[in-house]
Each structure stands twice: as C-alpha cells, then as structure tokens.
C-alpha cells in the first residue's frame, strides 16, 4: 500500500511540476516589446506576457476588465497594445489619432459587414437570407438615415419630440398617489408620495433613471415610429430594458440551451418585442397598400420618413416580415437604449451641483419659454404652467455650460466599444509630422474601448470626476467679440468613419431638450435631506447604469406669470 501511495504522490508531484514549468515557460516566452516589422518601418504593437497558454489574457479581461485595461494603458503609453486571448491577438487602441486612423480605414463594404452580420443574427434575430438581401442594399439602407441626420428630416423629428415634451412635461410627475391617475413612466419608476400638502407643493420620491428614461422613450419614439406605436404597445419599454440587460450575452452567440437566467430573460423579451414589431410591419403593409386597418391603427401618417423609407426599401427587395421586424428592433433599441439612459445622469450631475445648476438655468432662460397662466379659479384649483416653446438651436449654439454638461456626461457615463477584424495586413498611420505607424496582421482584432481615452489622465485631469467646465473654450466670433463655446476636443463617443452613429445630431438635440425642460419645471434633491454621494455603476452595452435605484425627491418649480418679462441676460 505504501508503494502505491508513493507512486500516486510521485505522479502528483510530476503533474504539478509539469504545470508549473508550463506556466513559467509560457510567462517567459510570451509577450513582446514594440518591434519593427520585417518589411517597412511599421511597428508591431507591444504585448505583455501571460501565464496560461491559449487563454492568454482572457481571464484578466473576464475578471476585472476595466482595471486591467487601465493598467495596460499606463504600461504602454504609445497608445496601442496587444493582448492574446483564446489563441487570437487583439489590439487595443486608445490614442485618439490612432483610433481615428482605424475608424477611417477605407475597406470593402463586405469586410465592414461581416462582423455586423454576426450581431444582426445573434442579437437582433435577422436570418441569413435577410442578411444577404440587406448586404446588397446596404448603401440604400444607409441613405435612409438622411431623414434623421440632416435637414429637413432632422428638424421634422426634432419638432415632433418638442411637441411631445410641451404636451407632457407638466406630467413628468403627477404627484398622484393613485396608480390609475399616474402616467406610464411613473408606474415604471417606483413612485412614492412623500408629502401631498407641503408648503412649497407636493413632493414625490422616484427612481430618477427609470422615470427619465421611460419618459424620454415614450415621448420621443412618436417622432420615429408614430403615436399609434407608443399607444398600442405600452408594455414594450419594460421588455426593451430586459433585452438591453442581456444584449452583450446575446451578442456572444451563447447557445440557447445554456441555462443562464439573464440570457433566457433576454431571449424571451426579444421574442415578445419582435412579435409586436411584426404586427407593426403587417399594419404598415396594409396602410401602404391602401387597405383597411384595425381602428387602433388610424394615425400611421405620422410615422417618420426614416421608418417609411426603410419599409418601402425592404418591401421592394423582398425582405421578409420577420426580417423587417428584426431590423426594427435594431433601430428601436438604438433609439432608446443609449442617449435616453444618459439624460438621467446629466440631470443627476446638474442637480448635485447647485451653483452650476443655477448658472445653466440662467443660461437657458432666454431659450425656454415657460409661463404660468392666470388662475381665475382661486387657490383651490391648481392651474399648471405651460411650456410654450424651446429654441433648440439656441440651446446648442448659445448655451455653452449646458452643452459642456452634455459632453462631460458622454465622457463619464458612456463607453462605446468599436471592433474590427483585420481581413488583411493593415497599417495604421498617424497623420502629421512624427506620426507613428503600426502593423496589424491579418486575422487579428482591433478594439477601441472609448473609456480608455475618456478616463486617460494624460488628457483629462481627475478623470473620474464629472467637471463640465473642462470642455469650455474661449473663442472670438466673427465680430471680434470673445465668446465661450463647448466642444468635444479629442472625444469621439459616437465613433467614426462609415460606422459613426447616424443619430448623433438627434441625440444632441434630445439630450439638451429634455434636460432643459426638466430643470426648468422641477427641483430635485436627495431623499430625507441626505447627500448625493457617488453612485456605484455597472456597464451595460455602451452606457453606465446605477447598481442601485437612483432615488430622488422631486417637486415643481414656479414659473413666470403670463406677460411677466424675463430680465435681460
């Protein structure tokens, strides 16, 4: 027996010794400094060593990705480094000039669509047959976004969004304890009436994230999908948020049989949303054919030119109804899951800085026309104030603090991630004198995690702090007068090149419009006189979300009486 035990011990020691030799050999032989390619003057990006063969840096990325990448940024200041994961080399780029070079690469359309096709199938449910049709008509489909990104379409969708805000801003919070009297966005925001008869008006506790993103979704989507869509699918928003929670898992293509609760919830939510969008596409078919529809679908004329143009294009080329519903899911998700979730953060940061909040309110006052109508019924009857108009162009061009707040919110709370597969050996070249060039070999992946630059202390002092003023610049206008402006600088939150976000101009208008309206009509404070504190966040696709509900107390603000003049500013 002792001889058997000795044999087992020897085997165990040999296995452990072999494993340790493997680890240390891998550590010693892996990784490389920046080198020059055999042909030409291009550099090959540096790569740190790793312990485990094949897996490489995959475990470091899976557990503690943010801190690991930040450490690599400090270690490799040239703006690019490479990691080995699952046998593949992945290049990570954070220097703005190199990121711009990658995003602006001129590549065949079929190369650009290969990775996109994977997402269309795994995340949105587009069949291979419909993908093939879409690839052929991609330039025509892309051209439809002119209705959202340029005039006159941009003004048309913005005008619809503004009319919805004018109609609904007074009911962002109804202050009613009766769910039957509450608006749909309130029901999704865990409303709790704190005081109904407070001296300064009623006070309600809400989840700021849920209240705002649902309010924006329900009031902005009529500008794209029409009013009937929102009225007939009131439950779609809750499903979209469940779907968004599982978006990354769906994108990985994990098999459907894997019992991952979040993944299964996401698949179920997607199935239900697709069923609604399939119904919408059937209804649009009948509408475009001049056929009778159910009475609940009588206002389809206000569906946007973008959506109608896509439908007509897809019908012309034979995209199936299932495919059209899946493409609608992609558009709907992109319309509500990104900028909508940033508006609550912009509000949060403004409300917790009272000085900046008052400066922004003063700045926007000439462009936000809100009045209190005369009350002819006495104090027993409450007459709501009215938002008569908002000059959105004025907010964009004449309100640098508001725009700087928008830019800083994008920097701190958004985190897009661009990825490209290198189908050929590719050279990234920095523009300008002294610019470096790097060789990315065929079969490798190139990534641009936007947060690596957005939190780079070489570009942004105290990068984890939200500081709107860092984006303010003093310039001289055409008349020679010094003026303050706000600009993105080196930030590229919407990507670049062919894949640059097509809705970025509308997103800017949307964020400024809703923020200006809400801070004009409402005051917010932490519950029970507490402090705002630093929220704990988690990453969902392209934005950060709070780990816990973002609770605030909200109350109405008074407005100028009709006919009362605003003082000159």
Tell me whether residue 83 is exposed, middle or buried, using C-beta atoms within 10 angstroms of its C-beta: 0 to 12, 13 to 18, 19 or more. Answer: buried
Instruction: Sheet with 192-195: list strands edge to edge.
Output: 192-195, 203-207, 551-556, 522-525
* Residue 501 known to bind ligand: yes
Query: Which two structure tokens, joined as six digits, stand for 130?
Result: 């419909």
Rounded to whole angstroms, how far apart are CA atoms 484 and 16? 66
Transcribe 99-152 into DSSP letters: HHHHHT----HHHHHHHHHHHHHHTT---HHHHHHHHHTHHHHHHTTHHHHSTT
Please classify residue 321 by burial: count the beta carbons closer than 10 Å to its beta carbon, then call 0-12 exposed, 13-18 middle and 19+ buried: middle
Asked whether 149 and 505 are in contact (CB, 8 A), the reply is yes
Q: Rounded CA gap, 369 and 136, in Å?
A: 48
Give SS3 for 278: helix
d(CA 221, CA 428): 39
End-to-end CA distance of the chain: 95
Separation between Cα atoms, residue 134 and residue 140, nearest integer Å: 9
- Could you give the CA distance from residue 54 to residue 245 in angstroms, rounded to a whole number? 30
Q: Helix, strand or coil for residue 154? A: helix
Question: CA 237, CA 214: separation in Å to the nearest integer?
Answer: 7
Annotated binding site for heme: 501
Annotated binding site: 501
């Amino acid at each position: 027996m002792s001889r058997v035990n000795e044999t087992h011990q020897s085997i165990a020691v040999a296995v452990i010794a072999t494993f340790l030799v493997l680890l240390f050999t891998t550590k010693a032989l892996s990784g490389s400094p920046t080198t020059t390619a055999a042909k030409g003057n291009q550099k090959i990006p540096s790569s740190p060593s790793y312990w485990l063969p094949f897996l490489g840096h995959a475990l470091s990325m899976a557990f503690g990705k943010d801190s690991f990448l930040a450490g690599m940024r400090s270690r490799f200041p040239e703006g690019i480094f490479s990691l080995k994961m699952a046998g593949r080399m992945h290049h990570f780029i954070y220097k703005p000039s190199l990121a711009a070079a990658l995003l602006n690469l001129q590549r065949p359309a079929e190369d650009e669509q290969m990775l996109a096709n994977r997402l269309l199938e795994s995340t949105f449910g587009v069949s291979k047959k419909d993908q093939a049709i879409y690839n052929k008509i991609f330039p025509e489909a892309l051209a439809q976004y002119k209705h959202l990104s340029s005039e006159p379409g941009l003004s048309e969708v913005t005008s619809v969004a503004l009319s919805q805000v004018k109609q609904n801003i007074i009911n962002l919070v109804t202050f009613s304890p009766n769910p039957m009297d509450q608006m749909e966005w309130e029901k999704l925001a865990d409303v709790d009436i704190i005081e109904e008869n407070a001296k300064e008006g009623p006070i309600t506790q809400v989840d700021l994230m849920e209240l705002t993103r649902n309010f924006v979704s329900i009031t902005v989507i009529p500008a794209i999908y029409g009013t009937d869509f929102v009225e007939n699918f009131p439950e779609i928003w809750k499903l979209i948020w469940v779907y968004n929670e599982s978006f990354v898992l769906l994108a990985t293509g994990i098999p459907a049989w894997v019992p991952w609760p979040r993944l299964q919830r996401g698949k179920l939510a997607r199935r239900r949303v697709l069923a609604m969008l399939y119904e919408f596409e059937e209804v649009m078919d009948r509408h475009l054919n001049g056929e009778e529809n159910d009475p609940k679908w009588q206002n389809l004329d206000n569906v946007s030119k973008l959506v109608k143009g896509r439908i007509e294009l897809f019908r012309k080329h034979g995209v199936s109804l299932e495919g059209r519903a899946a493409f609608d899911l992609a558009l709907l998700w992109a319309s509500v899951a990104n900028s909508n979730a940033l508006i609550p953060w912009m509000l949060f940061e403004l409300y917790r800085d009272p000085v900046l909040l008052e400066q922004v309110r003063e700045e926007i006052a000439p462009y936000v026309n809100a009045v209190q109508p005369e009350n002819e019924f006495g104090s027993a009857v409450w007459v709501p104030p009215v938002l008569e108009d908002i000059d959105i162009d004025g907010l964009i061009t004449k309100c640098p603090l508001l725009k700087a707040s928008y830019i800083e919110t994008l920097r701190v709370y958004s985190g897009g991630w661009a990825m490209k597969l290198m189908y050929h050996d590719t050279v990234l070249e920095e523009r300008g004198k002294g610019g470096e060039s790097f060789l990315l070999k065929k079969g490798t992946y190139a990534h641009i995690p936007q947060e690596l630059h957005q939190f780079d202390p070489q570009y942004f002092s105290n990068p984890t702090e939200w500081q709107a003023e860092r984006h303010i610049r003093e310039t001289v206008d055409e008349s020679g007068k010094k003026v303050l402006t706000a600009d993105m600088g080196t930030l590229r939150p919407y990507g670049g090149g062919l894949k640059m976000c097509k809705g970025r101009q509308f997103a800017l208008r949307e964020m400024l419009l809703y923020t200006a309206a809400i801070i004009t009509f409402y005051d917010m404070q932490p519950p029970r006189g507490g402090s705002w504190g630093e929220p704990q966040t988690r990453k969902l696709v392209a934005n950060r979300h709070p780990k816990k509900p973002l609770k605030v107390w909200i109350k109405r603000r008074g407005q100028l009486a009709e006919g009362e003049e605003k003082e000159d500013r």
